[in-house]
Structure 1
């Protein structure tokens, strides 16, 4: 069970349509496939999605840090030495997506070695999650049409609406159009991607007080600690920390400082090992968590649902697990399928996924 190689393979798959939000927009999934190989011939898989406008990582930087820094430090370790793996990667500052992918690939390799699903190793609470779909910036009619199509085709009834535009009225009108079209039985919540000031966010929430929003995520800049604290104290909508809570220490600051009342967990930036730390923090403090999405492909989505389904508290809310629907293709031999508003954990050892070698050859960029 010793690690003999850690590989980082860049690939790029276009989206059918771009996803637009306050901090940027995505046209191509220019991600990195991470593979951890063992001396038993086992290969663990994960995916690193670079988000330079959020964490500063690029496809090139992820490949470089995995191959030049992480791989030499990890080769020779056992798959059971996950704490040592984590500690050695933590010597390097930042690089959350790169670290997360390596961590999850190690877990996948361990599951394959033991012939057990990763979700069972993590906790084994359930085998599926309800799905939330993210709706990006577009004219109101297009946003409504997308939500209706996803609801009718996949049975999804929870929607996260991207906001953060100026003037604020653009997003207020969009949310009102969605609520009118979808009716009262569909859950709506908003994500500002740090696009508004605290005062703009307060005005928007007041204008949408009758829309029954269930959450408001990262409406203000991540480093505006006082502004987010001021906003959280003045709204009845639970405020979710996302980009401002990417480490256990930041989670502590956000919750104890009153800047948030819930936390978004993204396995794409905290892997399985650090995500469990954050989840247990939140359980101890009695706050809700949401399984977030870093515009993951199907590999990353398989990781997110495996983690979310493994724990009682992370499976309570619908997870953001549908962005791969907008990709024109993917690398898996068997694509993920959303049915009845749910995504099931893939059966089989590890993450239960395999890479199609022909697709990888077609889309890889090295």
Structure 2
């Protein structure tokens, strides 16, 4: 089996409501659908979410690097030769979501060729993941109502709360209200998207000490090296590295230099192959891992649950899997469902990213 064609299709879907957070806001998603075709008639698929404010990638840069650099290296290669493919991708720096998408699409081809779900090829540890819902910037009353609705309607029992780049007192009020109205058995954690200084983040930790927060993600810029180290050393809860660790090398650097004490894994940026390496690194050091969300569509969320449910260490905490509900539509042919607070891994061969061609034609950017 050889790769014969690499196709990139940009598309745009509006959000039902904007998602706002410290490093930006999203009113619509502009992603790239990747398809890799083979001479055996198989098509591997992945969703690529460029995030210019996080990794510096755009739709144009993703299409450009894949079309001009990665596609020529892929064509003629057997998808089973993953190490050879990654060696070719590794010669180009950055471009994390482009590389991650290629890896997921290659795994999709392998699963189809072997007539086996990729979830099982990776490890098949459990059949589903519990769901964390991400709450963006909104008034306290609206945020509480949103969380209560997810608990009542979908059985969700974990929430990541976006904070940062606004007065600490406002976020203390929000988190206090969420804990009061949701009760003690709901998991809550914070994500400041680098929106505070280390001093402000420390104030937030002190003010919420009795609220049983589980994690604090990217409280400040990792580039504020000494402030970040002081914060991590003094924090009573794990400090999670996310956008500061876009690859395995960055994850190792942040952990070993005291810049973080837990890791977020996002398959959109490290695919399945590099995500396995990040996961093994974390497990060997006894670090907690969260399966994160790249404001993923259902296509991206399928990749997350495919990987996260494949391993014991990545399935210990709820995964960020519900933000596709904030989108007005999706390209997927068989929509994902949240059942009793969980999303189930696909049981079809490959990754399970089957596309609705009519929707793709409607939302594609020409």
Superposition TM-score tier, normalisation by shorter sequence: over 0.9
1:198 match: 198
Please list the CA deviations of residues 60-103 of structure 1 after superposition, one character each: whole Å capped at 9, or x if unmatched: 11111111111011101001111111111111111101110011
Equivalent runs, 1:300-339 vs 2, <5 Å: 300-339=300-339
1:117 match: 117
User: How many aligned positions are there?
Assistant: 366
Deviates more, 1:247-256 or 1:289-298: 247-256
2:272 match: 272
1:18 match: 18
2:237 match: 237
Deviates more, 1:199-208 or 1:85-94: 85-94
1:227 match: 227
Separation (CA, whole Å) in 2 of partners of 1:45 and 1:315:
24
Separation (CA, whole Å) in 2 of partners of 1:224 and 1:40:
51
Structure 1 residue 32 corresponds to structure 2 residue 32: yes
CA contact (8 A) 2:239 2:262 kept: yes
CA contact (8 A) 2:289 2:314 kept: yes
TM-score for both structures, normalised by structure 2: 0.99
Separation (CA, whole Å) in 2 of partners of 1:130 and 1:272:
19
Separation (CA, whole Å) in 2 of partners of 1:328 and 1:90:
36
SS of aligned partner of 1:328: coil
Structure 1 residue 47 corresponds to structure 2 residue 47: yes
2:140 match: 140
Separation (CA, whole Å) in 1 of partners of 2:227 and 2:32:
35
Please list the CA deviations of residues 260-315 of structure 1 after superposition, one character each: whole Å capped at 9, or x if unmatched: 11100000111111101101111111111100010000100000000000011001
Deviates more, 1:155-164 or 1:237-246: 237-246
Unaligned runs of 5+ in 2: none
Separation (CA, whole Å) in 1 of partners of 2:153 and 2:65:
40
1:128 match: 128
Separation (CA, whole Å) in 2 of partners of 1:32 and 1:152:
34
Residue 323 of structure 1, CA deviation: 0.7
CA contact (8 A) 2:222 2:259 kept: no
SS of aligned partner of 1:339: coil
CA contact (8 A) 1:222 1:243 kept: no
Unaligned runs of 5+ in 1: none
SS of aligned partner of 1:338: coil
TM-score for both structures, normalised by structure 1: 0.99
Separation (CA, whole Å) in 2 of partners of 1:161 and 1:5:
41
Structure 1 residue 58 corresponds to structure 2 residue 83: no
1:86 match: 86
Residue 30 of structure 1, CA deviation: 0.4
SS of aligned partner of 1:15: strand
SS of aligned partner of 2:73: helix
Deviates more, 1:84-93 or 1:8-17: 84-93
Equivalent runs, 1:167-182 vs 2, <5 Å: 167-182=167-182
CA contact (8 A) 2:119 2:346 kept: no
Separation (CA, whole Å) in 1 of partners of 2:183 and 2:256:
36
Residue 353 of structure 1, CA deviation: 2.8
CA contact (8 A) 1:217 1:239 kept: yes
SS of aligned partner of 1:29: strand
Separation (CA, whole Å) in 2 of partners of 1:92 and 1:108:
23
1:248 match: 248
Separation (CA, whole Å) in 2 of partners of 1:226 and 1:115:
51
Residue 222 of structure 1, CA deviation: 2.8
How well do the aligned residues superpose, as a CA RMSD in angstroms?
A: 0.8
